Amino acid sequence: MTTRFDAIIIGTGQAGPSLAARLSGAGMKVAIIERKFFGGTCVNTGCIPTKALVASAYAAHLARRAADYGVAIDGTVKVDMPRVKARKDEISGRSSRSVEQWLRGLANCTVYQGHARFESPDSIRVNDEVLSAERIFINVGGRALVPSMPGLDQIDFLTNSTMMDVDFLPQHLIVIGGSYIGLEFGQMYRRFGSAVTIIEKGQRLIAREDEDVSQGVLEILQNEDIGVELRAECIKVAKRGDQIAVQLDCASGMREVVGSHLLLAIGRIPNTDDLGLDQAGVAVDPRGYITVDDQLRTNVPGIWALGDCNGRGAFTHTSYNDHEIVADNLLNGDNRSVRDRIVAYGLFIDPPLGRIGMTDDEIRRSGRPALIGKRLMTRVGRAVEKGETQGFMKITVDAQTKEILGAAILGTGGDEAVHCLLDTMYAKAPYTVVQRAVHIHPTVSELLPTVLGELTPLDG
């Protein structure tokens, strides 16, 4: 027995539920399938719970600095880890329940819980039922990459998902991976009270960023006594009594870090290996990401892939935008494309990094004549007043067209302030629009016109 729908959506991450609402609202009969937790990575193991933890860590950090602001706290600042976890769980759980209730309340939408697998290009089996539709949308997200690392099978380790179950304070947390996830957890747990060491195989942290951004982030972490080991060319792990030893130099064996717990944060892989994609003929790349065109269509007519599983974006906001592109193209006859999207993301350490557009290195490689403006956060009044002066802001523009090419704001409020530049880029307006604007004082954003008024050539 096969149940027929107009559309089937696999997964309830950021793209799936909103797409279900759009399609069912247009009168389509929709089925949406969720294997485990409603809301996907962001709601359950990503953005929402981790930022709730970051907020608790920030509160602890600020409490320890209370004297800097003339505030006296009697006694030692202590972190109640079970309470921290309970707060995170409540915030995350509320979001997950909200997604589920929303979907179950949609007219024309049927919710299925179970593991979806393709049986053909237009049919899906979930539990003991077979569903079919002429339109199928894959929104299955990704998970932590667990590498083939010598000794890893002999120890217990954590990932970003299993970190959500931690309700205690690790004595010494070792983080393998010096990129976005690893840095956020590293600073977070240092502020909770753990000793922390971050291990990175490369020459510097967050290697996709410009060197000054990587160096700025390194200094922020080191200022909080977080250990950072770079150039770990050969990594092995081993049990050392009740501790975990991580060897960084396989040749000499002299470099090692010993700690109580190990977090793997070295990358993500898509959840595409158990969907039966071969039964539908859906193509994937060598890393398992579903191959899509600029409108998110797979090689099989009638099948789309949205969100982290398509390799065209690794963020909640890009996944949500995927649904907008697909829905507008289907329902409104638009011609939207992922090529219209400008790179934009944040690193949510404290202070945060807001990054948009091209890096300086990318601009240099493009050969475009460019201008750059840069300002330390020590020269931003709002940062000084808040006592949070680490970092800097920089903006690059095209010397000929005057369009903004990219920006990085590493500093308090940087994740918010960067958006006025991003919107200007989408408008394809010259940077002089921002330069001549009158911003509110005292804010971080008020210095953006100043930075744009002090441009100099970007050196080669």
Give catalytic residue positions.
441
Q: How far apart are the C-alpha atoms of 388 and 414, rounded to whole Å?
A: 12
With beta carbons less than 8 A apart as the criterion, state whether 344 and 417 touch: no
Q: How far apart are the C-alpha atoms of 300 and 275, rounded to whole Å?
A: 15
What does the H/E/C string look like for 345-361?
EEECCCCCEEEEECCHH
For the chain, give percent helix, strand, coil, nearest 5: 35, 25, 40
Q: How far apart are the C-alpha atoms of 28 and 136, rounded to whole Å?
A: 13
Q: Which amino acid is at 111?
A: V
Q: Is 287 left (phi over 0), alpha (psi -120 to 50) or beta?
A: alpha
Q: How far apart are the first and last CA of the chain?
A: 66
Helical H runs in 156-199?
180-192
Residues 6 or more apart whose CB falls under 8 angstroms from that of 407 comprise: 354, 355, 356, 357, 393, 394, 395, 396, 418, 421
Dihedral pair phi/psi, residue 245, rounded to 5°? -105, 130
Q: How many CA atoms lie within 13 A of 326 on its CB side?
A: 32
Strand pairing report for 109-113 and 142-144: unpaired
CA-closest candidate to residue 350, choices 71, 59, 85, 64: 59
CA-closest candidate to residue 378, choices 355, 410, 354: 410
Chain CA centroid to CA 46, Å: 8
Q: Which amino acid is at 1?
A: M
Chain CA centroid to CA 172, Å: 25
The crossing angle, in degrees rounded to 10, of helices 316-331 and 15-25 is 20
Q: How far apart are the C-alpha atoms of 293 and 334, rounded to whole Å?
A: 16
Q: How far apart are the C-alpha atoms of 15 and 324, rounded to whole Å?
A: 8
Q: How far apart are the C-alpha atoms of 137 and 155, rounded to whole Å?
A: 38
